[in-house]
Amino acid sequence: MPGKSKLVEHEAPEKLLTQRGLFAGPSQIVSEDLYAEVKRGIADRERHRMVVHPNATVTMNTYFGRFPASYWQRWCVSPEVELELEVTGSGQVSLVASDSEGETRTVAAEKIAGAKAQKVRLSAKIDKFTDGGGLWFDVITGDDSLVVEGVRWTVAPPKTVRPTAVVICTFNRVDDCLNTMAALASDPEPLELVDTVYVVDQGTDAVESRERFAEVSAALGSKLRYIRQPNLGGAGGFTRGLYEVTEIDHAEHANVLFMDDDVLCEPEIVIRLTAFANRTTQPTIVGGQMLYLLHPNFLHVGAEYANLDTLSPGQVVEGALFNADLTGYDEETGKRNVQDKRVDAGYNGWWSCLIPSEIVKAVGYPLPLFFQWDDIEYGYRARAHGFATVSLPGAGVWHADFHWKDWDDWHRYFNLRNALITSALHSRFDPKMIVRGMAKQFATYILGMQYGLAATQLKAVEDFLKGPDFLADGGVQAAADIRKLRAEFPETVRHPASEIPGFKPGSLPMITAAPTPKLIAPVFAKRLVNQLLGKSVHDAGAVPAGDAAWWHVSLFNTAVVTDASQEGVRVRKRDKELAVRLSKQGAKVFRELYRRAPEIQRSYKDAMGKLTSRDTWSRLYDL
């Protein structure tokens, strides 16, 4: 394999490129309206070039077209930004700003007549955006057309530019990983900013085994470092990149950009995240945002936080866009769905997230959690040490829609166990509140005939109660154990909808849910009593995924529930004996959690330094 690149600071350019003006996405499945919106007339939009026909108007007030001025004013040291573009033809280019309420103002404008590859430069002070607002440009033509290309937003550079390493963690997603690698290699300008690309392959189906790997490897050249290691989950894969940067390459100041293997990568994210990180007032975790891969116009969330008291991740920061169609408009205001109000994140998911090496040196490495909540824990640990997280608008990749993933899966174990660990480390960890919330959740699993999910929850609590030494192997044994445990419960198995065991085609009526009950507690009590008495409203029926709430499924003896992934169904059968056994086990486990919570919390806090140390990860990597 090619030798490793040295991660050293680079000489600063005359101007620091913060983002390019793009007019189309990296894939045909992506709408051009995410980049440039044609408000009137006709415009031909290509990736780096746009032809605006006569009597047309195009706005760059779009997700990828805006410059996030509010975030630059709040977190960075740049007082001014310059917009540069090359034009041919006639028309007008206007630099436009908004405020936190989305009200607009024109900052600068230039008329163009008969231009041939003419450079246009417009600048704006970044001084009136504290609470929100962005910058973009509009193009208007009259009787002639105008070609716009070479669009660049720049700020004054730092004294030196930090080196950047991209880390792709992969496990048996060979084609996805190769696609992400190829996407990075396909765009020379962002790739020029990357010193090293670490591909950490933890799978049994090796990425390097494919013929295409040679082609992609050649395109990345000496930047690529391909590493094989045992499966230590996402935490172990991404941490390997941090370890290589800090321990092997000894980078004093570097950006480490995590990238999931299964994203649709927008290479532009490298430019936007690294430029921002180069101009922050102090080292800052800079997160890329997530757009839905199955619904590419939709943004997952503008900024999120976790409620550590209730073990609830993915909480939407007030004022942040959520599940928003970025090509749509607000029904009340009629304004484009853009993030004008500045919202501050508690953490950022690691589908694409930049972590400065200085933060690693100050707070340690991630916990060996294997999977789930590793990004949340690290974000809150960094915050406790004075390092903020910024989810940067306009810096996004497309990732599989979360609501198309079924909650009843093996990963739920890690979600619950690691939530408890994170809460113990970074919150008051009130045992009464936590046990009450988990017990309510457990009861709904039992009523909904999700016995495997209930057992998964109890296993997560039991392993948490074993204390921090249980994390010594990085989660390898836990991953194997939870899969084995869940295999004992038939309803955890997904079946093709055309081949449901025990039922002939056409024998199952589709039974949809009534409206959500207004009084949950009485309904809960009634469903519980009926199950204990063996009473049911329906013997068997099919239930759509959207109707699979406990208060509906608990009406059945057998419910064939569509999986959230829409790839099959689960067969849930009432089992009173199993429900009673799990309930008794649950009562015991929750009593122990309540009783031992303060003791266990202390043990995790005492072990934090060791768990996040160089020595722990060196041992796990066998280095």
Distance (Å) of CA 305 to CA 132, 296, 371, 376, 615 = 19, 23, 18, 8, 30
Comparing CA positions, the residue from 427, 422, 402, 430 lying closest to residue 464 is: 422
In the residue annotation, 131 being an active-site residue is answered as no
The C-alpha atoms of residue 11 and residue 188 are separated, in whole angstroms, by 19
* Cα dihedral 10, 85, 95, 267 in deg (nearest 10): -50
Beta bridge partners of residue 452, listed in sequence order: none
In one letter, which amino acid is 502? G
Q: Which residue has the tokens 């239930």?
A: 543
**Per-residue tokens: 379:** 């974000």
Which helix or strand (DSSP H or E) is residue 486 part of? helix 476-486
Eight-class DSSP state of 76: B
Residue 203, classified by CB atoms within 10 Å of its CB into exposed (0-12), middle (13-18) or buried (19+), is: middle
Say if CB 237 and CB 169 are below 8 A apart. yes
Say if CB 259 and CB 167 are below 8 A apart. yes
Radius of gyration of the chain (CA): 26
3-state secondary structure of 173: coil
Distance (Å) of CA 550 to CA 195, 408, 495, 547 = 51, 13, 21, 9
Residue 82, classified by CB atoms within 10 Å of its CB into exposed (0-12), middle (13-18) or buried (19+), is: middle
Say if CB 449 and CB 572 are below 8 A apart. yes
Which helix or strand (DSSP H or E) is residue 113 part of? strand 104-125
Which helix or strand (DSSP H or E) is residue 292 part of? strand 285-292
Catalytic residue among 375, 408, 463, 563: 375
Eight-class DSSP state of 247: I
The C-alpha atoms of residue 254 and residue 164 are separated, in whole angstroms, by 6
Say if CB 539 and CB 556 are below 8 A apart. yes
Say if CB 70 and CB 100 are below 8 A apart. yes
Which helix or strand (DSSP H or E) is residue 242 part of? helix 233-243
Which string of DSSP letters, residue by residue, matches 559-574? EEEEPTTSS-EEEEE-
Buried b (16+ CB within 10 A) or exposed e, 42-78: ebebeeebbbbbeebbbbbbbbbbbbbbbbbbbbbeb
Say if CB 230 and CB 479 are below 8 A apart. no
Residues designated catalytic: 375
